[in-house]
Structure 1
């Protein structure tokens, strides 16, 4: 296991290096002049040329790339062209907001999706099975922007139960320590703020959870249907083992491997693809941050943001691979 983990970690290096080349090439192929965007349409040619030299954009592309790689190797993501601030400090609050939203959404998706899939498989062709699969189909098909707007209309405007936008109550702001507000409020013992943060998380996290929830439910049902037909499951039931232990100890353990793969992929996709949810709910996440950077042709921010998301995606898949062996000891990583 340790040798495999080390090999996988070292295998990330060429993947991330290749990602830097691809992202750098694509970003610099985007039409438009960052200096022109920063200074505005009325800027003079002299001012644009001066800012271009200051930003180092007049250098050949390969020199810009080498400078960028040197910065990455020292842990420096560079300087934002728009704000002139260090990206290391700017990007973390946005990334933390997206991580918090993604984790809560995936907890909801995994809990509901796995259990719905288990019940649907155990009572296949029952009314619950048909109803759950209908809702799963709706969840996959429903546009997130429409669901988000309906949530705001129903629970914020009509019922007034939950806030419609934002991450915190602006009248009682959270003092950021890690920028993970749930953790920060617990560290400070501010349970009133903790409750407010939970309220702000409910609507966007449920909207974001719908698609992975539906996919996980369908995958769990499919794999569970194969497992529950096995001889050892019939033997366990014949011995009088309770249905709970048959399902969660014997069946689920052998059916969870494909589901884990889906969970890992969906988590990575949510980290980089939550821009619609963040826009609708005014969530200050990494998607909004990168969207604004694209509008300003802020190359260092775009490159660093995409590379960071790619690195997290790869790490998540590494963790999922390692979980395979912990759950199923038949998996051999020595080869």
Structure 2
């Protein structure tokens, strides 16, 4: 092996971190650029903010006050200049700094995503383990059938069904709103249904593969029981692909909250995004898109860093 190949293979952690950071910044720049230009294809926000009988002079005055009369390139450069300082401009609809509007809705979205992630882990991990250990039996068939239904069912339909059953028929949980644990239950379950199916299915497949390995047979030959085999050796070695998917699902839970928040009138960033698009609130739409993009980038970075902890053979400096 040449000296150049050795250097490339054993790249320093600092260079690897710099490469990842550069990639992350490139992704965020791409998301910011696409959202900036794409949102302007939706129409003129001045038409939305003013009444239908507004005069051309009133429209021109408002357009100038909002800075929309400036060249598009100038607006774009000003937008990029404010990003490092988290200055997204002023909301056209709320007439407040976009950062303040976003941070007001952020706790609700984080609460919903955390609740959905908790439901995902509490249901998917036991289901995946049971299906792997009972492969080919009735319990495995039941888990896989549930997984198929969960992956095939639209989340908004699940939400409506849960509302009809638990809020309308049984009247044990509220149909919408925010503020208590009871309000969180139905939205969290709705948002978690797809993630539970994905994680359980992948954990089952990964665990079945690991349990058929030579080192597992050796552990069983030494007298280690089924529980010890699964939790001491199986789960850790089967966790790498599962951790990757869970990391991606965290981003999906935040992004997928848009429909769920609409169904349950949850005052989070997802619902704020829909309102911003309807109002043609350019700065607010750009900020929410960047929020979702930054969430995906950060979660993927944390997943990469967790690999070396789960499996020492994996080096993040590659």
Q: Identify the TM-score tier after normalising by the shorter chain.
A: over 0.9
Q: State the TM-score, normalizing by the size of structure 2.
A: 0.92
Q: Is the 8 A contact 1:204 1:277 kept in 2?
A: yes
Say if 2:231 is the partner of 1:248.
Answer: yes
TM-superposed CA distance for 1:6, in Å, is 4.7
Q: Is the 8 A contact 1:121 1:129 kept in 2?
A: yes
Please name the residue that 1:19 is paired with. 31
Q: Is the 8 A contact 1:109 1:213 kept in 2?
A: yes
Q: How many corresponding residue pairs?
A: 306
Q: Is the 8 A contact 1:5 1:322 kept in 2?
A: no
Cα deviation code 1:48-94 (max 9, x no counterpart): 11000000001111000111112112221210011210111111122
Please name the residue that 2:306 is paired with. 323
Cα deviation code 1:191-243 (max 9, x no counterpart): xxxxxx22111111001100010011111111111100011111112222232
Q: Unaligned regions of 5+ residues in structure 1, if any?
A: 169-196
Say if 2:215 is the partner of 1:232.
Answer: yes
Cα separation, 1, equivalents of 2:283 and 2:83: 11
Cα deviation code 1:243-263 (max 9, x no counterpart): 222112201111111111111
Please name the residue that 1:66 is paired with. 77
Say if 2:260 is the partner of 1:277.
Answer: yes
Match of 2:279 among 273, 277, 296: 296
Question: What SS does the corresponding residue of 1:69 show, helix, strand or coil?
Answer: helix
Please name the residue that 1:137 is paired with. 148
Please name the residue that 2:159 is paired with. 148
Q: Is the 8 A contact 2:177 2:265 kept in 1?
A: yes
Cα deviation code 1:257-286 (max 9, x no counterpart): 111111111111121122221111110111
Cα separation, 2, equivalents of 1:135 and 1:159: 23
Match of 1:209 among 170, 186, 192: 192
- Structure 1 window deviating more from structure 2 (306-315 vs 158-167): it is 158-167
Please name the residue that 2:94 is paired with. 83
Match of 1:117 among 110, 117, 128: 128
Q: CA RMSD in A?
A: 1.4
Cα separation, 1, equivalents of 2:287 and 2:258: 17
Cα separation, 1, equivalents of 2:227 and 2:119: 21
Cα separation, 1, equivalents of 2:104 and 2:227: 42
**Where do 4+ consecutive residues of structure 1 move more than 6 Å?**
none
Cα separation, 1, equivalents of 2:269 and 2:26: 25
Question: What SS does the corresponding residue of 2:125 show, helix, strand or coil?
Answer: helix
Cα deviation code 1:130-163 (max 9, x no counterpart): 0000001011111222221221122122222111
Cα separation, 2, equivalents of 1:90 and 1:101: 18
Q: State the TM-score, normalizing by the size of structure 1.
A: 0.88
TM-superposed CA distance for 1:18, in Å, is 2.1
Q: Is the 8 A contact 1:27 1:299 kept in 2?
A: yes
Q: Is the 8 A contact 2:258 2:273 kept in 1?
A: no
Say if 2:247 is the partner of 1:264.
Answer: yes
Cα separation, 2, equivalents of 1:65 and 1:115: 49
Q: Is the 8 A contact 2:305 2:316 kept in 1?
A: no
Q: Is the 8 A contact 2:128 2:204 kept in 1?
A: yes
Please name the residue that 2:20 is paired with. 8
TM-superposed CA distance for 1:2, in Å, is 5.5
